[in-house]
Amino acid sequence: MAYDETDIETEGRAPAHVLFADAPASLTFKKLRKRIVRNAIDVIARYGLAPKAQGVRPAKWLVCLSGGKDSYTLLAALLDIQAKGELPVELIACNLDQGQPGFPKHILPDFLERLGVRHRIITEDTYSIVTDKVPEGRTYCSLCSRLRRGILYRVAREEGCEAIVLGHHRDDALETFMMNLFHGGRLAAMPPKLLNDEGDLFVLRPLLTCAEDDIARFAEAMKFPIIACNLCGSQDGLQRQAMKTVLDEWERKSPGRRNIMFQALSTVRPSHLADERVFDFAALERIVRDTEEQAP
């Protein structure tokens, strides 16, 4: 659908994408939208997600849409930033139809076509593979994620993209950190920018500092057509859900705990940990004082 970005404007006369034509006009929503966009802009600038210089052609990002609140908010934030002229990147939305029974195939194509967003819908029956290979009672997430990521890498290469862009947020990063800490025996979370193993594609997470509660409120206010996952979302007792419950309880007892924990992920002191691969403890030497040199 063709549109003139100058016809739809937000507070301060800044141009906005047509996606926001029917957005709530309340001050509360405007503040929420501004906070999410500001966080995304900060992550893009702070961690160098956007290309530093234009080449012969503009950079391309494959924006991965699952139909959940996080990926809808990701697309909305990027379109908002792009419409303001602050993201010199071509965006291609991509949804992977994994063959789940009852998956509403029309929702995302209709949504994206109505907005005039370039997109690709890929159909790959990973659902059958996952349900066949994973023993009953085990979680599907790990295998499902690997299969999905491989397909998205392929599509990104076909489209000439430099990166795939995911909607992971602050709470996802904290839950991953705790899962690695308690179950994986390592300190690791979700980085804002990652180079894949082949070295030809970036994995970007512009919403990494956004709170899940903000994203949920934003998606609800925007009335996005949410598509529930009936694969991993159908299983109870997932480790991630357990970590989320722990974080919820900590946040209830001490509001702001999630922000403090996320701050720790970007304030690392290798010399105060115990990994000789990231800090050379053996090379540490004392400063010899003059009084020690003169002592008999």
For the chain, give the number of residues: 296
Please work out, in degrees rounded to the nearest 5, the angle formed at the alpha carbon of residue 164 by the alpha carbons of 160 and 167.
155
The pLDDT assigned to 238 comes to 73
Q: Where are the alpha helices (DSSP H) in 47-182?
A: 69-83, 107-115, 126-133, 141-158, 170-179
Question: Over 80: is that where the pLDDT of 242 sits?
Answer: yes
* Cβ atoms of residues 169 and 68 within 8 Å: no
User: Residue type for 43, please?
Assistant: V
Question: Over 70: is that where the pLDDT of 84 sits?
Answer: yes
The pLDDT assigned to 221 comes to 98
Question: What is the DSSP pairing of strand 89-97 with strand 202-204?
Answer: unpaired
Question: Over 80: is that where the pLDDT of 33 sits?
Answer: yes
**77: CATH:** 3.40.50.620
DSSP 274: -
Q: Which residues contact 246 (CB under 8 A, 6 or more apart)?
A: 178
The pLDDT assigned to 51 comes to 82
Provide the token pair at 250: 């900590």
Provide the token pair at 226: 């949410």
Q: Find where tokens 């076509």 sit.
A: 113
When pLDDT is cut at 50, 70 and 90, the band that residue 3 belongs to is very low
**Strand, coil or helix: what is 103?**
coil
Question: What is the DSSP pairing of strand 193-195 with strand 202-204?
Answer: antiparallel
Q: What are phi and psi of 206, to 5 degrees?
A: -65, -20
Count of the separate structural domains present in the chain: 1
CB-hemisphere CA count at 13 Å for 186? Answer: 5
Q: What is the pLDDT averaged over residues 39-48?
A: 97
Query: Of 60-74, 131-145, 240-254, which range is least confident?
Result: 131-145
Q: How many whole angstroms separate alpha carbon 213 and alpha carbon 220?
A: 11
Question: Over 70: is that where the pLDDT of 141 sits?
Answer: no
- Cα–Cα distances (Å) from 287 to 20, 270, 290, 291, 292, in that order, read 62, 21, 10, 11, 10
Q: Cα dihedral angle (12, 16, 18, 20), rounded to 10 degrees?
A: -60
Q: What is the pLDDT averaged over residues 167-196?
A: 95
Question: Over 50: is that where the pLDDT of 111 sits?
Answer: yes
The pLDDT assigned to 125 comes to 77
Mean pLDDT of the chain: 87
Q: What are phi and psi of 165, to 5 degrees?
A: -120, 125
Range of the domain at 243: 5-294
Strand order in the sheet with 193-195: 119-123, 89-97, 59-65, 163-165, 202-204, 193-195
When pLDDT is cut at 50, 70 and 90, the band that residue 134 belongs to is low
